[in-house]
Amino acid sequence: MCGICGLASSVGAVDPGRLDAMSRTLVHRGPDSDGTWLGDGVGLAARRLSIIDLETGDQPLANEDGTVHVVQNGELLNYRELRRELEGEGHRFSTGGDTEVLAHLYEREGLGFAALLRGMFAVALWDSRRSRLVLARDRFGIKPLVYRADRGEFAFASDLRALPRGEIDLEALESFLAFNSIPAPLTIFREVRKLPPGHLLIWEGGEHRLERYARPAPVAADEVRTDDDAELLEELRARLRDSVRAHLVSDVPVGVLLSGGVDSSLLAALAAEEVSGPLRTFSIGFEERSFDELGNARLVAERYGTAHRELVLRPDAASLLPALAEAFDEPFADSSALPTYLVSELAARDVKVALSGEGGDELFGGYYTYAADLLALRVGRLARLAGPLVELLPSSSGRASFDFRAKRFVRAAHLPPLERHHGWKEIFSPDARAELTGRRCAFDPVDLLRVRFAETEGAELLARLQDVDLGLYLPDDLLTKTDRASMAHSLEVRVPFLDPAVSAFALGLPTRHKVRGLRKKVLLRRAAAPLLPRRIVRGKKRGFSIPAAAWLRGDLQGFARDVLSPERQARLGFFRPRVLGGLLDDHVAGREDRSRQLWGLLAFTLWHERHVERTPSALSRSRLPEVLVER
């Protein structure tokens, strides 16, 4: 695992001082060592977190004759098999790690090299024979890569903080207000773009182009798996076991981030059966009972005899929000980033690598929204009639409260499938965005979802909606959250559910094996049943979520009023202070749960103050604050 960056120029030599400065901003991603390579009109740099081949794996690396140089952020699960093939063909290696394989594989395959990789990666290769720079990002977007092209010069990095600031992209801001995250290829800066998952970028002669090399997608409706249930269960357990085993390969200790839900619990169970000593597990809980999942996590820890550590987060966690804004290089407002940030800090005390359950919900049907998608097909029109009564329900501060879900359901149930699916999760509607900003943007962020949805025509409806989440919500929210929160503490997080061996299986399943009525992750829960306590297998969806609604009506209210005050917002110039005050008043009075909107506005303001109003510095490792109690 590393942080990578680089420069290429068609108009002269690159500035080594600038390359070094870019590399220094990424020290949190690779505190163990650093390296640079300068060529004719190109420079590559890497900061290394040593996981595999601790002695000889420093980057950049090259092939035998130095015509291909490479840097990589990630881990390749199949590098040993690829290396054996390449050695059999006469390629000679000087290191024992996975990065050098990329240079030799590119020699053999050219631009086809990325399609043969199993793992998570963001790669940069310089081909000196062709004077060509090639970037590649893994098929699910587990690892980040951003770039900036400007008048014959090209720059790339793992983090936005390594690239020059620019103008705020109003389309990106519009997307942030709709999703609480910013979808690829957009970034918050107009001049910088994200390389989308499953894509290559080729730069040569001062110009660049993008090519898609991989696109995981659901099978056609008439091609779904029809195997016997027992066979599917056995195959799923075998594929998951193989993935977990592959993700445990490391020359340093590996742990599991254990939320108490079925996904992370299943990973912990399978990992515990593979390691020689006690598996290390890490959890976080809350003083608010409806959000505290430590009991479930302890059940798994006790069953498998793990070396378990846990934290309890108190309501005065507002002191952590500025640190969180510092860790994220663009506005990000999934509130579960806070516990993910903290549990990563806890894990980083003991291990350098941890497994996490991202991808399980999108692949196997774990969200309430999927049940709502199917329910709306039957009762959508009737739900709209019930709307006036549902709107009278008082707003609760509880987790996934009935009033919140009921209001979301009746407001969107009558819409077409994709718009309905987005409606369950929408942060600010187009009208609300216009009222908040004082402008109506011609750009519709939902068009990004529509493009993805159109690509899977012919698949089952639920599978198409899952695929929209797999292509946008997963990489741009969940994987972004996990990457930034963990790398802030120099912790590598691996996601076994996104192994192609597992994802290909899930993408072939029919709806009945994912969602039936209000039951979710049907097949996955059955596969987990022999390995986990019944309470977890049959329990509600779990995750590192927080009691944001209660906090914003309580201890966090004063902090929110300060951050969203007219004085501070006038300095930003993006939002109408009167509208902000009304949102907070509505929430505090219990008229409506506005916690997700308010969290987004807090996140944007704090980010802007740290990344725009001043130049962000390199991240430094923090210690657990007093708002936490370790048990």
Residue 380 is predicted with a pLDDT of 62
Domains recognised in the chain with CATH numbers: 2-212 (3.60.20.10), 221-316+332-364+477-537 (3.40.50.620)
The predicted-structure confidence for 465-479, as pLDDT tens digits, reads as follows: 999 999 999 999 999
Residue 626 is predicted with a pLDDT of 47
The secondary structure of the chain in percent helix, strand, coil, rounded to multiples of 5, reads: 45, 15, 35
Confidence band, pLDDT 50/70/90 cuts, at residue 58? confident
At residue 395, does pLDDT exceed 70? no
Express as a percent the part of the chain with pLDDT over 70: 90
Out of 332-341, 458-467, 615-624, pick the least confident: 615-624
The predicted-structure confidence for 314-336, as pLDDT tens digits, reads as follows: 655 567 888 899 999 999 999 99
Closest CA to 499 of 190, 240, 219: 240
Confidence band, pLDDT 50/70/90 cuts, at residue 622? low
At residue 191, does pLDDT exceed 90? yes
Residue 48 is predicted with a pLDDT of 83
> What average pLDDT is seen over the chain?
91
The answer for residues whose C-beta is within 8 angstroms of residue 141's C-beta and 6 or more apart is 184, 196, 197, 198, 474, 475, 476, 479
At residue 19, does pLDDT exceed 90? yes
- Find the catalytic residue in 1, 2, 182, 412: 2
Out of 42-56, 116-130, 440-454, 614-628, pick the least confident: 614-628
Closest CA to 144 of 129, 132, 156: 156
Q: What are the angstrom distances between the C-alpha of 631 and each of 278, 338, 628?
A: 19, 19, 10
At residue 53, does pLDDT exceed 70? no
Burial (CB count within 10 angstroms: exposed 0-12, middle 13-18, buried 19+), residue 17: exposed
The predicted-structure confidence for 206-226, as pLDDT tens digits, reads as follows: 999 999 999 999 999 999 999
The predicted-structure confidence for 229-250, as pLDDT tens digits, reads as follows: 999 999 999 999 999 999 999 8
Confidence band, pLDDT 50/70/90 cuts, at residue 630? low
Q: Once rounded to an integer, what is the mean pLDDT over residues 56-66? A: 87
Residue 377 is predicted with a pLDDT of 83
Q: In what order do the strands lie in the sheet with 132-137?
A: 61-62, 68-76, 119-127, 132-137, 199-204, 207-212
At residue 398, does pLDDT exceed 60? no
Q: Once rounded to an integer, what is the mean pLDDT over residues 176-192? A: 98
Residue 539 is predicted with a pLDDT of 81
2 included as an active-site residue: yes
The Cα 322–Cα 327 span in angstroms is 9
At residue 291, does pLDDT exceed 90? no
Q: Once rounded to an integer, what is the mean pLDDT over residues 565-570? A: 94
The Cα 262–Cα 512 span in angstroms is 19
At residue 529, does pLDDT exceed 60? yes
Residue 411 is predicted with a pLDDT of 72
Residue 550 is predicted with a pLDDT of 86
Query: Beta-carbon neighbour count of residue 78 at 10 Å?
Result: 15
The predicted-structure confidence for 87-124, as pLDDT tens digits, reads as follows: 999 999 999 889 999 999 999 999 999 999 999 999 99
Residue 391 is predicted with a pLDDT of 56
- Do 364 and 380 meet the contact criterion of CB atoms below 8 Å apart? no
Model confidence pTM above 0.85: yes
